[in-house]
Each structure stands twice: as structure tokens, then as C-alpha cells.
A and B are shown apart, each in its own frame.
Chain A
Amino acid sequence: MGAVNMELKSQIPPGPLAQKWERHKANLRLVSPGNKRKYEIIVVGTGLAGGSAAATLAELGYNVKSFCIQDSPRRAHSVAAQGGINAAKNYQNDGDSVERLFYDTLKGGDFRAREANVYRLAEVSANIIDQCVAMGVPFAREYGGTLTNRSFGGAQVSRTFYARGQTGQQLLLGCYSAMCRQIAAGQIKMYPRTEMLDLVVVNGHAKGIVTRNLITGKIESHAADAVVLATGGYGNAYYLSTSGRGSNATAIWRAYRRGAFFANPCFTQIHPTCIPVSGDYQSKLTLMSESLRNDGRVWVPKKKGDTRPPNEIPEDERDYYLERKYPSYGNLAPRDIASRAAKEVCDEGRGVGPGGLGVYLDFRDAIRRLGRKRVEERYGNLFDMYHEITGENAYETPMRIYPAIHYTMGGLWVDYNLMSNLPGLFVIGEANFSDHGANRLGASALMQGLADGYFILPYTIGNYLATQKPDQRPKPDQPEFRAAEQQVRERVKKLLAIRGRKTVTEFHKQVGKILWDYCGMTRSRQGLERAIQLIGELREEFWENVNVPGSDEDLNQSLERAGRVADYLELGELIARDALTREESCGCHFRVEYQTPDHECLRNDRDFAHVACWEFTGDGNTPVRHIEPLIFEAVQPTERSYK
């Protein structure tokens, strides 16, 4: 697929990689302390990215309006992250460094991320830990009082900081407490239970949003000098995922429809260690943290259709396939690789549990080596969680796990300043595309969210604001706002007026299944073409046959979901289209047509070392694919091997 000519300025500063960020900071335009209070900034989302950004911008003196769907900012989906957060502190003295974290992350992403962004991420990672500790995040410690670490997939050093199995919760409570301080100080105005339903663009710049109050149904406009989207990932397009049920794509999808480019939508991460599906009533999938792979060993029986209980299968009849295929990383092979390997053994008929869709994650040897108490200390809450859900005791019998949708590397396109192609629109955290390429390594999403919010956006947003005059900020009663509000109202009315025969959930399940079947762990031209056709048909049916009960004047959870599913029915098609046009395999994106003889990804750097950036061109029109070439100055992309 050829490039359409349109210049996407990545704004990567010149100079050696290690000096880019420092130099760039010195060159950014500034807003003086006295002027900051004249600016209004909208931050949508209160997860790690949005929470840290809102608090930090408020500390700097900007007036912040913060929005979230949940009843409290503290409940954003980031709260569910379990395993940990990476940082190049080298506290373990095991040879870690900014260079190594940078390289691991870039290689982990199969050389499809922007080098300069990844380097900066590694560079600011150490500050994040300092900041969080100062705010009272109770990370795990050694007896001597220093911080302790564990390892995650795709790394050969121990650089992951954690707070039991609740790292995301503790980091988010840190952001939330910083926000509380600023709410009390009047610097942040908080709008919980409020959903952004459109972005408002005035003279080509993002200048506000339209929201719906989820309790009263009131539709309102908010104007600002800049808009920050920190609305998380779109994994719920697949219906079953590890994301919270409220996570959705609406904010970024509406921004896309207003002109923001959507980058690499097909880069969706499938996590290898989730509890397998147990029935069609299932509403979400539960992740068993990757940290378990530090001590758990993954295996399936060597024989097909072996139905003996796991503990009766002797050692020499077990296939520890990750250790066998990837000896240097073993059970800590990166997610995309571990997921595909699990699918492969299950496709061969060696999967375990109902339907043969599962593999074992076994702690027998760890318990022998460390004792049950140590294992309990490390993973107790995860074992408890497994027990609650499955009724099985993983101290005695191995866990059963299977891959599930977990994270989206794709997202809105942003430049080095985290600004989209729409001036004034900034996108941070999982909602943007920039740092993880075609596969994200464990414990680096929390790192990215906080890097963006605490240490990058607060600098780069000033560079844009300095060009804007706050006294010329558009007013929320301007025609652009009125028109957007009107469109939002009409869409809500339309959804409620259909009164068809199928529920929103039925449509959601259907689109999710199409994506999982044709755009999941393996993808093919034929399958993707079929997916595009099926999703198109389903979308048409939705608008004729969906049944959304209730009214638009109070809390109506069916209506909320209907709007989100309507967006998945558009986004789903773009995901498939992106996967179809990327004629190579890389990271999570495994096209069966492009593989090495031993079934690994066959990348095509000559034609596809670029970011695919999709431009909306109106309903019913095929979106336009632009590209941002990826230029590697410091690292030469190599075959990504974990063998």
C-alpha cells in the first residue's frame, strides 16, 4: 500500500538520542507563571495518564477541568493493573540502564515504535519512582528498607517495582491524592460520571468537548485552550477483554472523526496469562499477572488429548514449550510470542481444560524451591483471585490460562510533543500510539502513563499554549459548539428511537467475535476481508434493529453502552483494514502469509517500517492511510529473537 503524500511532522528534535529530550526542553516555548492561570485545559480521563497530568498541570498553575466516567477519579481502569511498573533505576546492580530499558522496549515492540519517544520514556522512568515514593506509594521493600524489584517478560534484568499485586491501584491512588489536593485548592474542577461524546474543533484547533452528564442526561459544552485525551485503550471492541467494563473508544473515535489521525489500530495486545472463558454469560476475562511467569512454568502434555489430571502426568510427558523454544527467556518470553505459542499447542490438540483452550501455569517447582510461604507472599492475592473465579487451588494443581485481549498499542497519532495532527489536541497514556510499537512489554504501560502525565506533557503543552491567546479562547456558545451539541443530541435520540429486537450486548458480542476470530492472534488476507464485510453488515443492522430501552433524561446504562458499541462497529472495521494493509508480520500482528520457516514473525522493514496513520474521510468513504516513516538512528532493527 503506497504512501499518500501528506506531511506528518513528528517533531523529533535533532541531536544525539541521549540529548534530545534535555535539549528539546531547553528550546520549548514557556508560559510564564503569572500567565498560566489565564489558561483553561480540559483533561478527559483520570487514569494514571490523565490523573497525573491533571494534577501536575494544576500544580503549575493552569486551570484544569477533569472528566471521567466513573463516580470517582480513583476508579479509573488503571486501578486494575496488578504486576508492576518498570524503571531504569538499577537498584539491583544487575546491569540495568536507560540504554537497556530503551533497547528492551524498542525491541519488545518489534521495531515499530518511534525511537526518540522510547528513549525519553526510559530516561524519565527513574523520576517516576522517586515521585511516587514521595507521594506515599507503598512499594514493596527489602528488610533493610530499600525498594525491591521483580522481573517481567522481555527483560533479563529485575527492574519492575510493585506494591503486592495492586501496583496500579497504589499508583492511581497516588495520582488521585495529588488531584484531591488540587481540587481542594480550586485548581481542578472535577466532573465525575460525565462522558465526552464529541470533540469541538474551531479554526482547525481542538478547543473543547461536548459531554453528557450520566446522571441527568444533560448535554453540555466545555471550551478550553487545549484538550488532553487520556481515555485509555479500546480493547473492549473485542467484547471479552481484561479491561474494565467502562473502558471504551468513544473519546478517541470521536476525535478521529473530527480529523485526528488514528495510528496502527491493528496493534492489539493479546495477553498469554488470563483465566480461560467458562461460559457464554461471561462478561470479562481476568488477567493473571505476568509476574506469575517469574516462578510459574508453562506446559501442556506432550500427547494429544491427554485427559489425565495434571499431577498424574509424569515429568517426561510434559512439554514446557516456552522453555524449549525460547531457552534464553523461557517462561518470560514476551506476550505476543507466548500467546501465539499457546494458541499453537492448543491448535495441535494439546490444550487442556474445557474445549482444549488452555495451558498449565504450574507452581509445583517454585513451591518446592521457595516453600509455600514465599510463594504466598509473592502471589497470594493472585492465587486467591484464581480460586474465587475457578474454585481451584493453584497451590495444589496448576492454574489453567489462555490468551485474552489486554492492551492496545495503537491509538491516536501524536508527535514528539504528544500533540495530535489537530493542534491543541494532546493524547497521552494508552490512548495514544507512540511508545510500544507492535507489542508492549509488561509493566511499561504504567510507566508510560505516568511519564506522559507527570514529566512530558506538562512541558510540551506550554509550547502550544504559548502560541494561543487566552482572551481569544472560544466561548461554549459559539456555533461550532452549538453544532456539535446538536449532533450529539440527535445521535442519542436516534439510538433511543430505533426500538429494535436485538440488545446492545448482542451486537457487542457479535462484533467482538468477528474481531477475535479474524483479527486476533493470527490474521490472514481472506479473513480480514471477510471481517470488514461482516462488520459493515452488522453496523447496518445495528442502526435498524438495536433495542435501547429507557430515556435520555436520567441514568441510562443501556444508552451509554449503545453509543460505545456503535463506535466499535466503526472502529472494528478500521482495525481490520489496518491489519489487511500491513502486509508483514510484526509483534502482535501475525499475518499467516508472512512467517519464517519456524513460524515466527517475518517483518518487512523495507516496506513497512512506518506508522500507519488513518484519516477519516466521511461516513461510507474508505479512510486514507498516511504514513510516518520510522527512522532508526541509534539502533538497527534486527530479527527479534528470544531464543
Chain B
Amino acid sequence: MNLTLRVWRQANRHEPGHFEEYYLRDLNPNMSFLEMLDVLNEQLTREGREPVAFDHDCREGICGSCGLVINGEPHGPGYRVTTCQTYLRAFRDGDTITVEPFRAAAFPLIKDLVVDRSAFDRIMQAGGFISVNAGSAPDANAILIPKDVADKAMDAAQCIGCGACVAACKNASAMLFVAAKVSHLNLLPQGQPEKTRRTLAMVQQMDAEGFGACTVTGSCEAACPKGISLNFIAKLNRDYLSALLLGK
């Protein structure tokens, strides 16, 4: 198949960016979206032009490195998949596809399609952990955890930290990410001792990073490749309220 790509090019955050158009011929529909970008980059290199920078690593939907806005949708048209799990069979021969970085004030652009998502790391540093030093743990079966609780914690813990939720939100809010992270730990018995402190600190850091407010439009859940549920946002709001009451 043949495709036309309109790709966002920007040397760095200080210089203005623009779209460039590229034509790709004889692509195999079983190719992944990133493999198509590899083909483009090989082509650009041979033409003596600079390849397009984009983040990627595992290429199987788990590391959360990749993240492109494809035709206006974070991670493209597929349902519950990342960019690297998007295949050309999702497009039609002759299509023009627009490729942009995740855009948000809290995700400054680095180059082309690469953005800086370190705000997520700083939110985690504020409280996304259980304080237990290596060597001081009791036997793993000493605390029983009902299967449904463990499963629910796992539903939240599956978040890959890609940032699609932020890119999809009109306010660039990080509520779904923070809700997933807080809920994973707050649901487990091991997470109870630090629950209040954790909830307050992570929400506070989220605000400090310049993410927008959540108005529960649900676009984050729709864009999330792991299908993290909006219910976790409701849970975060509850945890936050009770933390405020208990907190200070």
C-alpha cells in the first residue's frame, strides 16, 4: 500500500515546528506503525536528510515509551493498543496520515515526536511507593489478600505511564494516571499505613507540574491503551477527600 505522512518536525523546544510531507510506497499492511517510521527513516537517511526522532523500546505495548498522536488520536485508531501495536492494516491504501507528538504544557517537547514526560516520575517520587526496606518483609502469605482486591489493584497497576490520557484530555489533566497509581497502592493492605500522605502528596505534585483540572469527560479512558477505568478517578476523589479530612 502507499501512504502520505504529514509528520511534525521540530528541532527543539525553542524553535518553531512545522509539518513535513513524505510519500511512502509499497508498504506491507502487516507492518507496524513504528516499522513504517523505520522505513521512512531509512529513506530519509539515504537521501541525506535527518530521520524523524521518536521514542520507542519494547514495541509490544508494555514499556510506555512510544506515544504519537495519529490523525488526532493518541496512539491512533486502534482500540486499547499503543502506537507500537498499531498496524498498517488499520489504514487504507492512499490515506494521508498526520503524526504529531503528545502535546501538553507539562510534557515539553524535546525534538520532533519526542516529549519530556518526567513530570510523571516526579509525581511518583512524591508518594508512589510503600516504604519497606529490602530484607524487612514478612512471609508473602502472612497477609491474605482476597482475589478480587488483588485483581482490582492489578487493574490499576497495569498503567504503562505513556501519557496518552494527558494527550487526549482537553485540559491536559493527569488524573487518570495519578488515580491508577494511587489506587494500586491504596487498595492493598500493604498500602494502608501511608495512604493519607500518599494521596495528598501525589495530587499536590500533579497540580505543581501544571497538569489541568479533571472535568471527567472520559476521553482519557477512551484513549488509554490499557483500558484503565474512570472508576479509579472516582476512587481517587474519595481517597483525596478523606485524606483531606484526616490529613493535616
**B-contacting residues of A (Cβ < 8 Å)?**
52, 55-56, 59, 70-75, 77, 79-80, 89, 91, 127, 129-136, 138-147, 163-164, 166, 168-170, 173, 176-178, 180-181, 183-184, 190, 192, 215, 244-246, 278-279, 281-284, 286, 385, 388-389, 391, 454-455, 458, 503, 505, 547, 549-550, 554-555, 557-558
Contact = CB atoms under 8 A, between A and B. Distances in A.
B16 interface: no
A547 B191 contact: no
Contact of B38 (A133, A144, A505): A505
B141 A146 contact: yes
A131 B117 contact: no
Contacts of B89: 391
Given A138-B151, A181-B125, A278-B28, 9 more contacts: A74-B64, A134-B137, A136-B185, A177-B124, A177-B129, A389-B85, A503-B45, A549-B49, A558-B51
B63 A70 contact: yes
B153 interface: yes
A181 B35 CA distance: 37
Interface residues of B, number: 79
B124 A176 contact: yes
B101 to A, nearest CB: 13
Contact of B141 (A75, A91, A246, A549): A91
Return the 6 tightest CB-CB contacts between A and B, nearest first.
Answer: A145-B144, A134-B137, A177-B129, A130-B137, A133-B140, A138-B154
Nearest to B185: A136
Contact of A130 (B31, B138, B151): B138
B135 to A, nearest CB: 7
B65 A71 contact: yes
Interface of B: 11-12, 28, 30-32, 34-35, 38-39, 41-42, 44-46, 48-51, 53, 55-65, 78, 81, 85, 87, 89, 110-111, 114, 116-118, 120-121, 124-126, 128-141, 143-147, 150-151, 153-154, 157-158, 160-161, 184-185, 188, 190-191
A437 B150 CA distance: 36
Nearest to A53: B134
B118 A284 contact: no
30 contacts: A71-B118, A72-B118, A74-B124, A75-B161, A77-B57, A79-B58, A79-B62, A130-B138, A131-B132, A131-B134, A134-B136, A138-B188, A141-B145, A145-B147, A146-B141, A163-B157, A166-B158, A180-B128, A244-B57, A245-B57, A278-B30, A284-B60, A391-B87, A454-B135, A455-B135, A503-B45, A505-B38, A549-B51, A550-B50, A558-B41
A138 B51 contact: no
Nearest to A91: B141
Nearest to A287: B60
A113 B56 CA distance: 34
B188 A136 contact: yes
A381 to B, nearest CB: 9
A455 to B, nearest CB: 7
A59 B121 contact: no
A554 B109 CA distance: 13
A231 to B, nearest CB: 14
B188 A75 contact: no
Given A145-B145, A554-B12, A183 B137 contact: no
A279 B150 contact: no
Given A136-B191, A244-B58, A245-B57, A131 B137 contact: yes
B62 to A, nearest CB: 5
A557 B87 contact: no
Given A278-B30, A555-B110, A52 B134 contact: yes
A170 B64 contact: no
A123 B190 CA distance: 25
A166 B159 CA distance: 11
A281 B161 contact: no
A503 B42 contact: yes
A136 B30 CA distance: 39
Contacts of B160: 169
A55 B38 CA distance: 36
Which one of B87, B116, B131, B136 has the highest number of Cβ atoms from chain A below 10 Å of its Cβ? B131
A56 B134 contact: yes
A173 B58 contact: no
Contacts of B136: 134
Nearest to A87: B140
A59 B134 CA distance: 8
B62 A169 contact: yes
A245 B45 contact: no
B85 A388 contact: yes
Nearest to A161: B140
Contact of B140 (A129, A143, A283): A129
Contacts of B128: 177, 180
